[in-house]
Amino acid sequence: MVTEEVAREALLSFVSSKCCYGRAAAGDLVIQELKQQTLCRYRLETFTESRISEWTFQPFTNQSVDGPQRGTSPRLWDIKVQVPPMFQEDTKKFQVPHSSLVKGCHKCHGRGRYKCSGCHGAGMVRCPSCSGAKRKAKQSRRCQMCSGSGRRRCSTCSGRGNKTCATCKGEKKLLHFIQLVIVWKNSLFEFMSEHRLNCPGELLAKAKGESLFKDESTMVYPIVDFPLREISLASQRGIAEHSAALASRARVLQQRQTIELIPLTEVHYWYQGQTYVYYIYGTDHRVYVVDYPERYCCGCTII
């Protein structure tokens, strides 16, 4: 239960963290009423693993080639990998065994270099200052930028007329292979019990609560006969939604459902002839101020 003393200390702590909130109101206010309510927050987490394969390539630098001659490539789900800690999202890529082959680079046609597009292989381009006229318009002296030649060294290829192929990095060949992409994802379903106080739901969703119930397994079952029927219904709905959305495209590795108690207090107070309201939420007594009487600028966020 939040007492008047706790409510005042929570507001003072909040005000102290804001550069443009005055402390006088928090210290001198008269608390008129404390409306308290305990909410239930239900969460369902489903940790899944999905796998896809795709062809990719990299420059061939005469490394060992693990091709079909060494055996048949394993099926995607037969490849053993290290799974990250449960409920921690991650993405990793692996080269599928026995899927490699070497081909000439398709970008440079196996040359390792290709003609510069800036100068079309000439190494020189028309002078941008005199437009190749060797002299600027209405001037008798020669152009200083190109020394009167009308042309300048191509900046794209540094005058070489060609560039190293960016695809094969000049190696002329590419190593093609099948890449396995594994995505570990944690899907979240969340429900907050109905409340009568006017505190924003997005704040309550992030609030710290007291653990009341926890169930973790490879597959959890809906909660039944919970004192609040809406929590039991939320559990049934969340498990059904995750099953329908995830079962067809990923493997479920672990599920976890929890119920937490979130304390919420609406504080009505009087200051200099007017009534104001603020909220205290969560076990760590976070504060949400609706309209603080001593706010001097707009530089601080209220939340």
- Residue 208: inside a domain: yes
Do residues 277 and 202 both lie within one domain?
A: yes
- Residue 214: inside a domain: yes
Average pLDDT over residues 203-210: 92
Do residues 155 and 195 both lie within one domain?
A: no
Q: What are phi and psi of 267, to 5 degrees?
A: -105, 120
Over the stretch 155-190, which tens digit does the pLDDT of each residue have? Answer: 888 888 888 999 999 999 999 999 999 999 999 999
pLDDT at 129 over 80: no
- State CA 170 to chain mean position distance: 35
Do residues 195 and 155 both lie within one domain?
A: no
Partners of residue 33 on adjacent β-strands: 268
Do residues 276 and 205 both lie within one domain?
A: yes
Please tell me the predicted confidence (pLDDT) of residue 137. 67
Tell me the residue range of the domain where 14 lies. Answer: 4-45+184-289
Query: Of 131, 164, 197, which residue sits at a domain end?
Result: 164
Do residues 127 and 198 both lie within one domain?
A: no
Please tell me the predicted confidence (pLDDT) of residue 291. 83
- State CA 221 to chain mean position distance: 30
Average pLDDT over residues 75-87: 95
Residue predicted with more confidence, 79 or 293: 79
CA distances from 250 to 55, 120, 164, 182, 238 (A): 21, 50, 42, 10, 17
pLDDT at 300 over 90: no
Over the stretch 44-63, which tens digit does the pLDDT of each residue have? Answer: 999 999 999 999 999 999 99
- Residue 254: inside a domain: yes
Do residues 228 and 285 both lie within one domain?
A: yes
Q: Per-residue confidence at 302, pLDDT binned at 50, 70, 90?
A: very low
- Residue 76: inside a domain: no
Q: Per-residue confidence at 297, pLDDT binned at 50, 70, 90?
A: low
| Gap between the Cα atoms of 25 and 195, Å rounded | 28
Percentage of residues of the chain with pLDDT beyond 90: 64
Do residues 274 and 237 both lie within one domain?
A: yes
Do residues 188 and 271 both lie within one domain?
A: yes
pTM of the model: 0.77
| Gap between the Cα atoms of 136 and 176, Å rounded | 53
Look at the chain and count its residues: 303
Partners of residue 178 on adjacent β-strands: 55
- Per residue, the 3-state secondary structure of 92-154, as one string, reads EEEECCCCCEEEECCCCCCCCEEECCCCCCCCEEECCCCCCCCECCCCCCECCCCCCCCEEEC
Q: Per-residue confidence at 298, pLDDT binned at 50, 70, 90?
A: low
Helices marked H in the chain — which ranges? 4-16, 23-28, 201-206, 229-246
Task: Enter the DSSP assignment of 7.
Answer: H
SS3 256: strand
- Residue 213: inside a domain: yes
pLDDT at 280 over 70: yes
Do residues 200 and 273 both lie within one domain?
A: yes
SS3 283: coil
Q: What are phi and psi of 24, to 5 degrees?
A: -60, -45
Over the stretch 21-30, which tens digit does the pLDDT of each residue have? Answer: 777 888 888 9
Q: What one-character-per-residue DSSP string does 24-43 give?
A: HHHHH-EEEEEEEEEEEEEE
- Residue 82: inside a domain: no
pLDDT mean across residues, the chain: 90
Do residues 273 and 198 both lie within one domain?
A: yes
- Residue 61: inside a domain: no
Structural contact between residues 264 and 36, judged by C-beta atoms closer than 8 angstroms = yes
Per the structure, the count of domains in the chain is 2
SS3 160: coil
- Residue 188: inside a domain: yes
Beta strands 113-115 and 210-217, pairing class: unpaired
